[in-house]
Amino acid sequence: MQNQYISENKARFLDELFEILRIPSISADKQFAGEVRKTAEFVKEKLIAAGAENVTLEETNGNPIVYGDKLIDPKLPTILVYGHYDVQPSVPDELWTTPPFEPTVRDGKIYARGACDDKGQMYMHIKAFETMIQTNSLACNVKFMIEGEEEVGSTNLGIYVMQHKEKLSADVVLISDTGMIANDIPSIDVGLRGLSYVEVEVTGPNRDLHSGVYGGAVANPINVLCTMIASMHDENRKITIPGFYDDVNDLNEADRKALNSAPFNLEAYKKDLDIDEVMGESSYTTLERTGIRPTFEVNGIWGGYIGEGAKTVLPSKAYAKISMRLIPNQKSAAIIKLFSDHFISIAPKGVKVKVIPHHGGEAAITPTDSISFKAAAKAIATTYGKAPIPTFGGGSIPIVALFEKELGVKTVLMGFGLDSDAIHSPNEHFGLFNYYKGIETIPYFYKFYAQMMAE
């Protein structure tokens, strides 16, 4: 009956997703604040139309949170569905085959910024909910919390959660904002890494100088910044910040073995990225490097003259944006402090260094022996015909650790994207197969979760 409802409404489900994909809800850029709000209004309207109650835009110091619920029976378990309607910047736009906010289907995939991360996956939940309401099969109470600042660190959501513990109380948090290995190799992420994001500014002389008149005699902040950044890894690509690994526990051999038994083809990985070799911390596999090891990455670096042609200039300033991925036990605020102290300490005389913290978040592990994991695994096994493999996705969803800490609720990461969906990149896409499979699978989670909780 549910599948019939989904297939009868297939076209409309896609039209609606296209509508929301057309709104450029880029949270990183204040210019888009109006569009971000429009997107929140859209989600609100669609939640109401699907049958949710108490639907409101919860105002914050930033972008609004959309809340809505359907509480049918206090004896049934309650699922808190979390997702985000904001997206990453689309730049560089010229690398998109079709414009980022004009969704287009090619080869069975929807191309648009946010198609997978996370509008497509978030919207599956609203359509799955509509399906359960329309087919009279809603098996759990449900609360929706869809935010607009995930891509900028969820700071305001964190405050909101701490202030609304009662309202948000639930038995489990359900999130579709991660990926699977492949459509014929279903998997469930069981770990998210934490994050410390900082910006650094190196200042040399008080103004841009002629690079011939002054060059060679005055510290060039770009040269200095590059040297400083290069020193952050040693020859084994270990991070050199003193104390950085103090709270890092190595996995035991059995867990390492399990992690490395997930299907992974290094040759295909390299081929997909067009690289002749991978690079990372020695003595760890690629799956370990992206799943359970901390990292230090420059996300952007700039300064001086970057316009057309050549300009001989010794710049006054250089900048970089840096992210460090963290594993459970490392604390985001403590790592920012370690980095900041170290970075300032290695600056040579002749420059001034400023470290500006952006946002942070803690890592999270979701248990595989929980009822919620088992229900998700059974739901996926039902619709994919194969039990999902536990995996470590490597990305971060800062609110997950906070849900656990503040609400005492564990999360299940039932993601339907693929690594190859190019999230955060040009030509982000989401398979039509994945979109409809998600809508089909989610109601089974509700059903099995209610059944298993009652046992």
Interface with ligand BES (CB under 6 A): 117-118, 150-151, 153, 177-179, 189, 192, 195, 359, 361, 393, 395-398
Q: Which does 440 bind (CB under 5 to 8 A by kind): ligand BES, Mn ion, none?
A: none
Rounded to a whole number of angstroms, the minimum distance from the CB of residue 304 to ligand BES is 27
User: Does residue 118 belong to the site contacting Mn ion (CB under 5 A)?
Assistant: yes
Around Cβ 230, how many Cβ atoms within 10 Å? 8
Q: Which does 178 bind (CB under 5 to 8 A by kind): Mn ion, ligand BES, none?
A: ligand BES
Which uninterrupted H or E stretch holds 411? strand 411-413
With respect to Mn ion, which residue has the nearer C-beta, 38 or 424?
424
Helix (H, G, I), strand (E, B) or coil at 166: coil
Q: Which does 441 bind (CB under 5 to 8 A by kind): ligand BES, Mn ion, none?
A: none
Nearest residue to ligand BES, using CB? 395
Q: Which does 179 bind (CB under 5 to 8 A by kind): Mn ion, ligand BES, none?
A: ligand BES
Residue indicated by tokens 């046992």? 455
Q: Smallest Cα–Cα separation from 199: which of 91, 110, 328, 299?
A: 299
Rounded to a whole number of angstroms, the minimum distance from the CB of residue 406 to ligand BES is 17
Degrees to nearest 5, angle at CA 279 with 276 and 283: 125
Cis check for the bond before 246: say yes or no (omega within 30 of 0).
no
| Pairing between β-strand 295-303 and β-strand 317-326 as defined by DSSP bridges | antiparallel
With respect to Mn ion, which residue has the nearer C-beta, 69 or 117?
117
Rounded to a whole number of angstroms, the minimum distance from the CB of residue 356 to Mn ion is 22
Residue 166 CA, distance from chain mean position: 26
Burial 176-208 (b: 16+ CB within 10 A, else e): bbbbbbeeeebbbbbbbbbbbbbebbbbbbeeb
With respect to ligand BES, which residue has the nearer C-beta, 62 or 393?
393
Across-strand partners of 1?
none
With respect to Mn ion, which residue has the nearer C-beta, 118 or 130?
118
With respect to Mn ion, which residue has the nearer C-beta, 343 or 416?
416
With respect to Mn ion, which residue has the nearer C-beta, 21 or 209?
21
Rounded to a whole number of angstroms, the minimum distance from the CB of residue 362 to Mn ion is 17
Helix (H, G, I), strand (E, B) or coil at 353: strand
Rounded to a whole number of angstroms, the minimum distance from the CB of residue 49 to ligand BES is 25
Rounded to a whole number of angstroms, the minimum distance from the CB of residue 148 to ligand BES is 12
Rounded to a whole number of angstroms, the minimum distance from the CB of residue 321 to ligand BES is 11
User: Does residue 288 belong to the site contacting Mn ion (CB under 5 A)?
Assistant: no
Q: CA 312, CA 208: separation in Å to the nearest integer?
A: 10
Rounded to a whole number of angstroms, the minimum distance from the CB of residue 192 to ligand BES is 6
With respect to ligand BES, which residue has the nearer C-beta, 119 or 447?
119
Site residues (CB under 5 A) for Mn ion, limited to 171-190: 177
Q: CA 40, CA 208: separation in Å to the nearest integer?
A: 44
Contacts of 177 (CB under 8 A, 6+ apart): 82, 83, 84, 117, 118, 121, 122, 150, 397, 413, 415
With respect to Mn ion, which residue has the nearer C-beta, 141 or 176?
176
Q: CA 63, CA 149: separation in Å to the nearest integer?
A: 6
Q: Smallest Cα–Cα separation from 80: which of 156, 140, 20?
A: 140
User: Does residue 117 belong to the site contacting Mn ion (CB under 5 A)?
Assistant: yes
Q: Which does 411 bind (CB under 5 to 8 A by kind): Mn ion, ligand BES, none?
A: none
Q: Which residues bind Mn ion (CB under 5 A)?
A: 117-118, 177
